[in-house]
Every structure is written in structure tokens, then in C-alpha cells.
Amino acid sequence: MYFLPLRDFLLTYTFSSVMLKLRIGGLKLNERIKNYEKTLGLTLEKFGERLGVGKTAINKLEKGENNVTDQMRKIHLQEFGVNEEWLLKGSGPMFIQSSTFSLDEFVKKSWSK
């Protein structure tokens, strides 16, 4: 296991599985996860369902008892559209803006003309 201490920054890395423990400036990683869960208005159960884990795992993650694995981080980004820079560093907007085409929006605009 390697530890890389920097000013207000701690990165823990293991070879068997990548685990991130980050604290940069303001909120810790686990606090940011709890923050956006609340922003989405999800319960621990619903949040865990969408991430493929149970309520207990989410609770431990939010308390900082469990580390965020690389796979879990990717699920947060893909499932919820969380901005990776915000999740890891606390900078930038919480969510990324979708640049995908929305058929629903296109139809609404087309029919309103």
C-alpha cells in the first residue's frame, strides 16, 4: 500500500484493488457523495439500488468507513452524471451537462411551433 501525503490531500492506493480516500480543501469524498445523494432526493435504499450495492454499504461509504473503489467511482459518474472533477476534487459543478440529443425535447419543440 502506498500513501501520498500532500497539503490537505491523501491518496491511498493498493495493488489488489484501487481505493481512493481523498480530502482536498472543503468536503471529503464521502461527504460529497452524501451531498449529491441528498441533492437527488434519494433514500439510502434507492441510491444503493442504482449503484448495485445495499443500504449498509452506502451508509458505511458516507461515514467514511468504506473506501470508494475505482469501479464504484465510475458507476457514480455513469449512473448519475456526476462531474468527476467535483467528485474527486470538489471543484466545478456537481453534475455534468448532458450534450446528448433528447428526442422528447425535439418533439416538444417541433409540436409547439
Per-residue pLDDT at 99: 67
Reported pTM: 0.62
Per-residue pLDDT at 108: 73
Per-residue pLDDT at 102: 67
| Per-residue pLDDT tens over the stretch 62-86 | 998 988 888 888 998 888 889 999 9
Per-residue pLDDT at 7: 43
Instruction: State the cell numbers at 23.
Output: 480530502
| Per-residue pLDDT tens over the stretch 21-54 | 444 447 888 999 999 999 999 999 999 999 999 9
Decide: 37 and 27 in contact? Cβ < 8 Å: no
